[in-house]
Every structure is written in structure tokens, then in C-alpha cells.
Amino acid sequence: MKKYPLSTWLLFLIPSLLGILLFIVPVPTAEGWVVTVALLANLLAGEIEAYAPWIMMGIMIIAALGSLVFITRRVNEKHHVSFLDKLFNVNLFWTIVRILGAVFAVMVMFQLGPEAVWSENTGGLLLSAGGLLAFLFTIFLFAGLLLPLLMNFGLLEFFGTMMVKVMRPLFRLPGRSSVDALASWVGDGTIGVLLTNTQYIQNKYTQREAAIIGTTFSVVSITFAIVVIQEVGLAQYFLPYYGTVILAGIVLALIMPRLYPLSKKPTTFMNGKPQDTQSEDIPEGHTVFSHGLESGLKTAEKNRSASEFFKDGFKNVLDMWIGVAPVVMAFGTIALILAEYTSVFVILGAPFVPYLNLLGVPEAAEAAQLMVVGFADMFLPAILAADIESELTRFVVATMSVTQLIYMSEVGGLLLGSRIPVGILDLIVIFLLRTIIALPIVVGIAHLLF
């Protein structure tokens, strides 16, 4: 193994340890255990609670106007593409989505037009003081700025080499994805999507790998899971509830990459180059540990510039603010309007009635629509389950709402707004497959408990 100076070792160890402490190690708070990045985001969100919705409205207007200006520009991908072009030069569909997000934001903030758009249960739920978009403003700020600690100083290369023998055969993923998975599970799904998106843009993940990680490991935080189980009045069952979420999540992580649409995603990188798994082989004369360590040190040595660190961080922040916020606003509002004011989800949930009856779930007709309404927002099933008498059914609804993972008011919107190659039809299919596969596991454990 090559000898590295002390400065390189410190450059590998200190930022990497800071990244682990900020993104992966949870700390106790009055509301429960949260990772430090989320804690910082919550603290800032509390300080600017009254202003955050206005700031986000401004960001969405800038995104819409910028896209309208840049859509007429032709970009030659073979030459250097400016950061502003990458930020604003999107196709017609995404330009319309950004305009729609900005229009919805203005309607919510000034309560203009139909109440269905700006009510506290639809657009107002997303863009209110303390709402989702206000939190996304702060989480993107801190996570985006500090993300280079995880990515630029060798931590991913070190863990990637160590974990490849586990992640590749089990989940069809490179070893470095273990850090994404852990950051999502312990921290927050938004952090996982941000980390995955950034690595996909840097050609560290293939299209298939980015899609698998984004739709399989972007789990909600433990804190939010506690809120869900409390909402259905079963807080005393938190440990078996979260244990069921973990078990179902692992089973789904093993199965979903082997099914359509994830199995059919190309194994090429964003730049079009094909995947080469041989690059993950351990060179002769190295152990897994020594090769991982050398890979990490080599990466750290290349990243000595403080200005590049902050430049990368600010690019992450702007990319998520401009790219993701309008998509969450547009798709989230439409999904919530459908859930609140139409019977679309009741109709879509009808096929689940015989399935739930077969599994022995009481009040199957009431629970069936809650199996699909979670596609709009993860919290909706828990709210609507309050009228269900059966504790077993409420437990199933609460567990499924977290296990389904794809909901348009957050993770779904984030994925569509990112560069990760998944479309709305992909997300619908993945959501339904996760529901169908996870239900027998969740119901089986529920029958043991109640």
C-alpha cells in the first residue's frame, strides 16, 4: 500500500467522521432521536417559520421564470454545459411543471382561486409555516452544503470496497450505496434522495442503481414513524411496529430490484458509459480493508480545495431548491386535491377489498382505500384511519403507509424533481408492487399482536 502523508490521513478521517456524525448518528431531542443535519434544519425552520413559505414561493417563481428564459437555448451536451443551463434548461414538460408549482404557490400564499388548491389539507399543507416545503428549504440548505463531507473525502470509496460483497449479490447495488441506505434509514428519506441524486449526476451510479436506491432505501425518519403510530392511537406498539417496517423494508429491498420496472432500467451511467463491475474487484496483494483504505485516501488527496468544497455544496443546494421544490408543490397539490375532493382513491382501492378479506383484515372496505391514498401523502392513511375500530386494521394501515415509501407530497415529488431516472408511471407501479408484496408480511405480524 502506498504511503500517504499525515495531512492526507487527516483529510480522510476528519471530514468523513464529521459526515458520519452529521448524517448517520442520531442524537436525542425532546421530539425523539434525529440526525444532526435534520436537527439543524428543524432549528432553522423554527426560527424562520413565518418567512420560509414566502422564500419557497420566491424560489419556485425563479425556477419557473428561469426555465421559460432558458428553454429557447440549445445546449450541446458534447461541450461544457454551464451550471445555469443544468439548473434551468429543462424540457417543455418540466418547464410546465415548474410553472404549475409557482402558480400553486402564489395561489396558496395569497389564497387566490379555488379553495381546493390552497386549503390547509391540499396546497396549504405543503406550503404553510411549518409545512413540508418550509422544512425542505432548510434540510436542502444544510444537507446540500454539508453533503461533500460524505462524498468528497473517501468515505464512500472506503465503505464501497468493504460492503460490495454484501450489497452487490443481495440488492444488485455497489458497496458505496450502503452509506446512502444507512443515511436514509437512520436519518431521513430526503437526505437519501439528495445523496443518491448527486452521485448519479457524478456518474457514480448507473441508471438502474440510482432508481433502485431512490425507490427502495429512501425511508422516512424514525421520528416521523413515531408520529404516524401515535396518530392511529397505538403508540404502545411502536417497537413491533417499527420492527415490522424494517422487516418488510428488507424483504422489499431484496425483491424489488429483480422486478419490473427497476430490473429493466439500463445499466449505463448518466454519461452513457456502460457499467463495469470488474472495477469492484480487489487488486492482487490487497485485502478488502487495505484496498478500501487506499481508495479512500486517494480520493481525499484529490480534494484539498476549501473553495471547491463550498462550491460543490452550494451547487447541491441550488439544484435541489430549483429542481425539486416546484415538482413537490405541483404533483403534491394535485395528488392531495384528488384525495380530498374526489373518490379516485376509493375507486382505485376497491381491488384491495378481496385481498384484505383473504388476509383476514377486519373492516376491509374502509382499509382498502387507505392502501392507495398513501400515494398522495404518507400521513393521510393515518389521519383517515382514526375512525376504524379494529386495532389490527389501524396497525396494518400505519405500517403500510410507511412501508409503501412512494408518496407524491415528499419522496415521490423529490424523485421526479431529481435527475434519478424514474417517471410517474414507474412510481405508480413500484408503489402498487410494494403494497401487494408487503401486505401479507404486515398482516401476518399484526395477527400475532392482536
The per-residue pLDDT for range 235-261, each reduced to its tens digit, is: 888 889 988 998 998 899 999 999 999
Average pLDDT, the chain: 86
C-alpha closest to that of 221 among 373, 371, 382, 402: 402
Task: For residue 380, name the pLDDT band (cuts at 50, 70, 90).
Answer: confident
32: left (phi over 0), alpha (psi -120 to 50) or beta: left
CB 397 within 8 A of CB 388: yes
- What three-state secondary structure class fits 274? strand
Task: For residue 3, name the pLDDT band (cuts at 50, 70, 90).
Answer: confident
Q: Is the pLDDT of residue 409 over 90?
A: no
287: left (phi over 0), alpha (psi -120 to 50) or beta: beta
Q: Is the pLDDT of residue 57 over 90?
A: yes
CB 374 within 8 A of CB 402: no
State mean pLDDT over 187-200: 79
pLDDT in the model for residue 212: 92
Hunting for cell 407524491 — which residue is that? Answer: 408
CB 298 within 8 A of CB 156: no
CB 191 within 8 A of CB 184: yes
The per-residue pLDDT for range 280-302, each reduced to its tens digit, is: 667 777 788 888 888 889 888 88
Task: For residue 423, name the pLDDT band (cuts at 50, 70, 90).
Answer: very high
173: left (phi over 0), alpha (psi -120 to 50) or beta: beta
Task: For residue 74, name the pLDDT band (cuts at 50, 70, 90).
Answer: low
pLDDT in the model for residue 43: 87
The per-residue pLDDT for range 343-355, each reduced to its tens digit, is: 888 899 999 999 9
Question: Which range in 2-6, 48-52, 108-112, 330-334 is most confidently predicted, on average pLDDT?
Answer: 108-112
What's the predicted TM-score (pTM) here?
Answer: 0.73
Q: Is the pLDDT of residue 76 over 90?
A: no
29 DSSP β-pair partners: 32
CB 168 within 8 A of CB 280: yes
Q: Is the pLDDT of residue 78 over 60?
A: no
